[in-house]
Structure 1
């Protein structure tokens, strides 16, 4: 909640007098710690943080323990030293106008820097999006009438970073006359997460142009960037979040006899060059992402990916990148389209899922097109409530 204070100056006693109040953010602040997909993050009720987003920085850095210039472990806060564990979602009820559009709740995703003071609101997080509907129901920000006829519910969310709509569907139960999310059904295995949990389906509605306004920001399925006097083909695609795709073969072609540090610098150079071509700020590390693609090496997947987030190799795949790849694989002429040709030789239908191999396993994503426009992109996730209480900042 927010506490208020008034000036200590004496005021005339008047029942009609308007007293101006100043809101002070609580410390500690009410918070919930949740896993969504292969990410974990702090979820906050929008009513508990300042309306002015410029005031969020000190609060969120304090929560996560950033900047940690000593070792990057965020040992002084809730962060875990990697980008997938340094995230915050601020969730609020839908406005009257949003409710008229069928929106149940809105949220803003924040990527918090680890070694620096970056507070990045430029994009969305697909993994944590899977738990926003759950949090909104738990907090009473949206509700469903009790019903025994359906075992699931769908919460329609508006992501404020990208102004895109996401439907999240998950199992429910009725307790005390109230509909509540049920996350402990052992029905779904997810690569990168031990055990089974309830299935949460994410559907990103019209995901194209999340940051640039166009699926292909340059209008081309393949562009090229010049790195170390080499021309590198790249596919610049903006669906759910903008991503720079490059092939492993092209990276290897100019990456001989380089150290790991040099390789990361080269990938960052490619990412920055791609960002400029997309009309994005190259200094914003969170967007666009960069991902290295490879053709399938066995029958269990259609394409391989190594995705980098904030300059570090992701241990799985940021789900917005996975969804972007699922879309890119169905856009003729992209690098992903060329690599998934074997899938099309199997006469795959347009609605079939793309199987993506990442460092932790395989994930399936889908994308539907109508008249050349991306209708939606889908993926299955799981989630878990970890902690609810208060966090100091």
Structure 2
């Protein structure tokens, strides 16, 4: 068979014909997108086997994992860090979901870098911001909610069994609409330039994994670390707020971490240090046990260190350093940032205490400004009269990077 426009043109334009003759295409139709401060591969669920047990080797091949010797994933689309080793599988909603107003369903996949781990336990806030765009581009859905020049896509995340809405600008094309992503509207810390505003709304995000906003029932737990190698002999425990909103997170105080390392309050902490990383992983695993989660799962829960802002941090409410799969995140995983936004509104958590001591009444603000290694970000959280979390919102941007096929 000859392909007048190149050897892949027929496959790209007519993937369904190929699917009728082979179980799974290789190369596989895929789209490469930036969402917030992450990049990932987006795949139409129709192009994957119906049997999900067959997905793992496909995803490992796409990302170039495992890469135990170099950790760079040069044989695939991964970039050697957790924020670049992600996949989203998007498809049509079920009949019952359609009745509930859902436009698209998606599953987030965190792919291991040096090992063959595939984690479906959590969601990615950054990549969630582009689910609606991809669903429209693929013809999976058209928006049911259109307000002026913006559209809202309601998606259902299978990892957390939660609804996430994305609202973004559109341009009209005859009877349909396309996402307009190149408007100079907003900036996102960690990403150069302005782009269109994408509002990401996690609906009722509490208990995303455990079913409870505070899985242990406490705003602060005491975690015993006395038997962790490398811990200061004078330190036997650290405080932790175990919060499950958008994704479960173990929040600890930088002051407690300094004590665990026998540092003075002004001493810097190198989060890339192997000793620090070992202690943080020990705390994270103990926190996971308290939350009723698998401590061996690297992706969930995540751990984040909270600090008071310095006098130079004007307008900042809290400083956060978050780790993803054992590596300090260069920005902040958006689900962790949203979880912090919720935690800051829950009385007596570590986040609440930081805001309350910074300025009287500050813990009641609708928007929380956090500083992370890449800049700052504002997040909002809504609560009902009974104290239940109704919403967690953040502004993101995104960009289409490539559409074609990927070998696995």
TM-score normalised per structure 2: 0.89
Q: Partner residue of 1:224?
A: 222
Deviations 1:253-280 (A, max 9, x none): 0113798101100000000000001000
In the alignment, the residues of structure 1 paired with residue 169 and residue 95 of structure 2 have an alpha-carbon distance, to the nearest angstrom, of: 27
In the alignment, the residues of structure 1 paired with residue 277 and residue 323 of structure 2 have an alpha-carbon distance, to the nearest angstrom, of: 9
Contact 2:379 2:393 in 1 (8 A): yes
Structure 2 gaps of 5+ residues are: 1-15, 228-235, 264-268
Deviations 1:293-338 (A, max 9, x none): 0012122210000000000000000000000000000000100000
Q: Partner residue of 1:319?
A: 334
In the alignment, which of 272, 275, 286 is matched to residue 288 of structure 2? 275
Q: Partner residue of 2:19?
A: 3
1:246 aligns with 2:252: yes
In the alignment, the residues of structure 2 paired with residue 4 and residue 383 of structure 1 have an alpha-carbon distance, to the nearest angstrom, of: 33
Contact 1:42 1:89 in 2 (8 A): yes
1:100 aligns with 2:99: yes
Cα RMSD of the aligned pairs, angstroms, is 1.7
Contact 2:381 2:391 in 1 (8 A): yes
Could you tell me how far 1:344 is from its partner in structure 2? 5.7
In the alignment, which of 137, 150, 153 is matched to residue 152 of structure 1? 150
In the alignment, which of 347, 351, 355 is matched to residue 332 of structure 1? 347
Secondary structure in structure 2 of the residue aligned to 1:25: coil
Residues 1-393 of structure 1 aligned to structure 2 (within 5 Å): 1=16, 3-4=19-20, 24-144=23-143, 150-228=148-226, 230-256=236-262, 260-297=273-310, 298-342=313-357, 345=360, 349-350=364-365, 352-370=366-384, 371-393=386-408
Contact 1:123 1:286 in 2 (8 A): yes
Contact 2:145 2:152 in 1 (8 A): no
Secondary structure in structure 1 of the residue aligned to 2:19: strand
In the alignment, the residues of structure 2 paired with residue 384 and residue 377 of structure 1 have an alpha-carbon distance, to the nearest angstrom, of: 23
In the alignment, the residues of structure 2 paired with residue 75 and residue 132 of structure 1 have an alpha-carbon distance, to the nearest angstrom, of: 26
Contact 2:209 2:247 in 1 (8 A): yes
Give the number of aligned pairs. 374
Say if 1:358 and 1:208 are closer, same or farther in 2 by CA, change over 3 A. Answer: same
Structure (1/2) with the larger strand percentage: 1
In the alignment, the residues of structure 1 paired with residue 61 and residue 154 of structure 2 have an alpha-carbon distance, to the nearest angstrom, of: 31
In the alignment, the residues of structure 1 paired with residue 363 and residue 307 of structure 2 have an alpha-carbon distance, to the nearest angstrom, of: 20
Contact 1:291 1:306 in 2 (8 A): yes
Could you tell me how far 1:176 is from its partner in structure 2? 4.1
In the alignment, the residues of structure 2 paired with residue 119 and residue 163 of structure 1 have an alpha-carbon distance, to the nearest angstrom, of: 19
TM-score normalised per structure 1: 0.92
In the alignment, the residues of structure 2 paired with residue 369 and residue 3 of structure 1 have an alpha-carbon distance, to the nearest angstrom, of: 46
Structure 1 gaps of 5+ residues are: 6-22
Greater displacement, 171-180 / 29-38: 171-180
Q: Partner residue of 1:13?
A: none
